Structure 1
Amino acid sequence: MSSSNLFRATVNEYLEGLPQPVQSKLYEAPATCLSIFRLLPPMTKFYIMTMLFNEKPVALRDMDKWCKPGSRKLQFESLKRLKALHLIKEDNTGTHIRLNSTFRQNFRDCLTGSQAANAFGNLCTTPDKHKVDAAFLDTFASQKWETILHFMVGTESTVTPSTSVLSLLKLGGLMEGPGTNPNNLKITNSGFQFLLQDVNAQIWTLLLQYLNLTQDLHMDPVDVLNFIFILGSLELGKSYTVSSLSATQVSMLADLKDYGLVYQRNGNSSRFYPTRLATTLTSDSAALKSPSVALDQALEGAENQAVNTSATPSSQQGTIIIETNFKMYAYTNSPLEIAVLNLFVHLKTRFANMVCGQITRESIRNALYNGITADQIIKFLETHAHPQMRLLAKEKLDKKIEFDASHNINTAGGAPQSQAARDGAVAQHKLELLPPTVVDQIKLWQLELDRIQTFDGYLFKDFSNQQEYDVLSSYASEVGVLIWSDKVRRKFFVTQQGVSQVVDFANRKLQRTR
């Protein structure tokens, strides 16, 4: 799972764990309803949109017809999530469901523009005497966030973050050490994993720890969550009035400024500005996308961008080149980016604007021992690949597609190439930014350490006949909770989370057949 999807799952798990009264109060804010919807998986969004403008309850048997049999797992997870968030409610018979009325009304208001004027904050009507634009806010956010990351990797002469930030790093298990002295804090295994995540995931990691502190700080968790979700819906480069905020939200501004989420000239200022780190919290847009200012722009369109082979990479492009012999070249002079690369690369030479190194079994193993996974390393290298690697990968992909398309023409007796045939050839291949030998070897080095996996769950056995076993095991496989099965001995093992679903299905199905 990518770090982007991982942070969304983590945020959703936090929301699902909230008491129902807290969830109900959250749904009273239109901005919160919109943000929660943005964080949900695609199929869950589909179910919400289907019921949003439907005044009548929806029959569960009709919902089964909305997805293919192979998507039962996604359907099960979507309905489970909606129930945990109390966004849907079953009727007394358990055959029909309807959308939470408060959520439906406020979310509909968002979509139709009928929400209250201040639902997404109050814009300042008077111009600011001190010029603040998007470029200034990006620089401010980058400096604040890089201060935290530099401190974590132990960069020399780095500025020490505020006390509140250090507390969150320690509370979240990202750093450890006795007392509150910054010199005593050291990065943990979780901290190493944290460094390789994208910025959105890193921000949410700290914000979730901040939310866990709300009771100790005597802050209303609903107020805190609503403000975080409102920030995700504000406009970059615009200023908003402080007077429209609650006392809890005003007290949050100083902390959020330390994280780089908001800019406020001083504590008494009557206005604040959300930064890009805040406005992308609940969207699919990228924030700064890297642990350094050199990678502070999204890499969208890099594959189609013209590249001058003789030019030095600009600060808005990827920097890493990897050869099939596992040698790595990174065009960067950022101490932070070099420190992150040093987590899984054996660095050998450093020049003014470039570092050279080698990916080795020992360097990858050191990263694995620190809790970093092979997928995280591969994702990091792909995200920060040099434009030349992207261009080369695109050329290779085009050649493969053309070869497969011409092969299909030959086998079809010289028939003209159809768009469907070409689309099929495209679907068979994917863009390989990194050499396949490097990707496969990194995964193999991880498999050397992951020889045994353990799962918590329940074993089903002692079936009266083969039909009962086949029905239940097939259902468990469809909803994605089946871990192991043995058809000969009529036994299968399901996850701890999926056992109740299988038992309920067994009670309904087997009673009907007997």
Structure 2
Amino acid sequence: MSSNLFKTTVNEYLESLPKTVQSKLYEAPATCLSIYRLLSPMAKFYIMSMIFNEKPVNLRDLNKWCKPSSRKLEYEALKRLKALHLVEYDNKGSHIRLHSNFRKNFRDCLTGTQKPNAFGSISLTNDKHKVDIKFLDKFASQKWENILHFMVGTESTTTPSKSVLSLLQLGGLMENKNGLSITNSGFQFLLQDVNAQIWTLLLQYLNLTQDLNMDPVDVLNFIFILGSLELGKSYSVSSLSETQRSMLADLRDYGLVYQRSDTSGRFYPTRLATTLTSDSAGLKTPSMAVEQALGEEAEETAQERNIQESIIIETNFKVYAYTNSPLEIAILNLFVHLRTRFANMVCGQITRESIRNALYNGITADQIIKFLDSHAHPQMKLLAKERLDKKIEFDTSNNINTAGGAPQSKNENVISQHKLEIIPPNVLDQIKLWQLELDRIQTFEGYLFKDLANQQEYDILSNYASELGVLIWSDKVKKKFFVTKDGMSQVADFANRKLKR
């Protein structure tokens, strides 16, 4: 899955909250920092450009901050900022400024002038029981991997707590049919990034807050605080609210925090918690191997494990996976026809039927490709890098010869056009083609623009829609074009401004 999936999911949840709830969230500096981390680079750019500016910014000036080719990014960034009420427009709609609470508290984060306990209170007393990063990683790994093993039905797996089971059912990941069994959504869940998986359960947890008589703002603030804490440090329970203290038991079940006992006065955030709002993956899926090295010895161990648990794909669609993990084998079995199993390796083949079975279960071709890419054998990645370097070198030299000495910018364009292809191209294309067999017709919700006065009007509006990335279909002869549902208002506003002039 894309690393941006969990960010999009969380942002969509935040956008669905009432404006009053959003405003309360922005009163917490840690929440402001976390929400900033979840935004797109363009949205972050706008915030940083206005954070120290007390005066509203003219929208005409704002449009000059990005190139015309980036109109789509500008449109999406402003749309998200508006949905989160991070920006406010004046009555005329000609000026824009940051939400006052957000600007103040986020600025305090940047300048270090926030309240001392804004990011939790570090416990000052020494813990008699040794707890280090290695221990926390092992604890989080066991907790989270146990949930995934339970979902795929691995034998001898400990049944998760009742709170975890209820979230798996409420999220549609498992269903009760003479016992709990995984659903189509559950299959997709297994191939997601760890952060996306964690947020899937946390969002279901947030949906239960009203039934549990918990303040959603308090719950969200604590989750965002966890994402800003330091791994390996212990934090005082006494500084938490009653709602946040009651959350610790549930968060322990997910592997997000470690607490020696229910009555312990301290808790430790694990890597799963400290990377909640980060681009870094918490732990490796599906084996949950620690991704970040813990000293030289741990780094060597992780490298050995990565080699042992890696996949080789041949051009004849044969797959060799060096693993003895029941979880990884179960996931491979979702889209690979496994034929032979050895002590530390399984062999199989990608077939039309195995891919179709995965597609019927709701798994997409992109998810399969992403999984194979991220778990490819190091030797496959090395060979792919060598092929890419040779291709870039050949195309660059050929470009220089034909152009009589190409400038640096053209060479950069040549390089940017190439991508690292770890999976054999014929396998990659065939997986996508098998998906296209089932997706021959696509439907889109949107609006049709027609009856335009002349060709010039059509060109102006359709080009603008194309720049925004909301254009789905166009016919230059009939002077008609179709835009997405979200893009309609933007194109209509532009038409009113431009055509009136």
Q: What's the TM-score, normalizing by structure 2?
A: 0.95
Q: Tell me whether 1:18 sits opposite 2:6 in the alignment.
A: no
Q: Secondary structure at the match of 1:117?
A: coil
- C-alpha deviation, 1:433, in angstroms: 1.2
Unaligned stretches of 5+ residues in structure 1: 300-305
Map 1:325-344 onto structure 2 (within 5 A): 325-344=316-335
TM-aligned CA distance change 1:421 to 1:510, over 3 Å: closer
TM-aligned CA distance change 1:314 to 1:467, over 3 Å: same
- Give distance in 2, aligned partners of 1:20 and 1:433: 45
TM-aligned CA distance change 1:471 to 1:419, over 3 Å: closer
Per-residue Cα deviation, 1:77-101 (whole angstroms, up to 9, x for no partner): 1111111111111112211111111
- Which of the numbers 333, 352, 357 marks the counterpart of 1:366? 357
What value does the CA root-mean-square deviation take over the aligned residues?
Answer: 2.0
- C-alpha deviation, 1:385, in angstroms: 0.9
Q: Tell me whether 1:220 sits opposite 2:215 in the alignment.
A: yes
Q: Tell me whether 1:314 sits opposite 2:304 in the alignment.
A: yes
Map 1:36-75 onto structure 2 (within 5 A): 36-75=35-74
- Structure 1 counterpart of 2:31: 32
Unaligned stretches of 5+ residues in structure 2: 294-298
- Which of the numbers 444, 451, 457 marks the counterpart of 2:446? 457
- Which of the numbers 267, 272, 279 marks the counterpart of 1:277? 272
Q: Tell me whether 1:446 sits opposite 2:435 in the alignment.
A: yes
- Which of the numbers 370, 374, 383 marks the counterpart of 1:379? 370
- Give distance in 2, aligned partners of 1:199 and 1:401: 34
- Structure 2 counterpart of 1:290: 285
- Give distance in 1, aligned partners of 2:400 and 2:459: 43
Identity, % of aligned pairs?
A: 78
- Give distance in 1, aligned partners of 2:16 and 2:279: 24
Which 10-residue stretch deviates more, 239-248 or 469-478?
A: 469-478
- Give distance in 2, aligned partners of 1:199 and 1:152: 15
Map 1:450-489 onto structure 2 (within 5 A): 450-489=439-478
- C-alpha deviation, 1:244, in angstroms: 0.3
- Structure 2 counterpart of 1:251: 246
Q: Secondary structure at the match of 2:305?
A: coil
Per-residue Cα deviation, 1:268-287 (whole angstroms, up to 9, x for no partner): 10000000000000011121
- Give distance in 1, aligned partners of 2:441 and 2:396: 42
- Give distance in 1, aligned partners of 2:407 and 2:469: 36
Q: Secondary structure at the match of 2:319?
A: strand
- C-alpha deviation, 1:409, in angstroms: 4.8
TM-aligned CA distance change 1:411 to 1:487, over 3 Å: closer
Q: Tell me whether 1:102 sits opposite 2:101 in the alignment.
A: yes
- Give distance in 2, aligned partners of 1:427 and 1:469: 32
Per-residue Cα deviation, 1:233-254 (whole angstroms, up to 9, x for no partner): 0000110000000000000000
- C-alpha deviation, 1:103, in angstroms: 0.4
- Give distance in 1, aligned partners of 2:256 and 2:500: 56
Q: Tell me whether 1:436 sits opposite 2:425 in the alignment.
A: yes
TM-aligned CA distance change 1:409 to 1:472, over 3 Å: closer
- C-alpha deviation, 1:227, in angstroms: 0.2
User: Aligned letter for 1:261?
Assistant: L
- Structure 1 counterpart of 2:296: none
Which 10-residue stretch deviates more, 455-464 or 258-267?
A: 455-464
Map 1:141-220 onto structure 2 (within 5 A): 141-177=140-176, 184-220=179-215
Contact 1:313 1:319 in 2 (8 A): no
- Structure 1 counterpart of 2:394: 403
- Give distance in 1, aligned partners of 2:165 and 2:103: 40
Per-residue Cα deviation, 1:286-308 (whole angstroms, up to 9, x for no partner): 21131114x43259xxxxxx99x
- Give distance in 1, aligned partners of 2:292 and 2:354: 28
- C-alpha deviation, 1:351, in angstroms: 0.7
Per-residue Cα deviation, 1:468-503 (whole angstroms, up to 9, x for no partner): 322222222221211111222222211111222222
Contact 2:291 2:302 in 1 (8 A): no
- Give distance in 1, aligned partners of 2:477 and 2:269: 61
Contact 2:447 2:482 in 1 (8 A): yes
Q: What's the TM-score, normalizing by structure 1?
A: 0.93
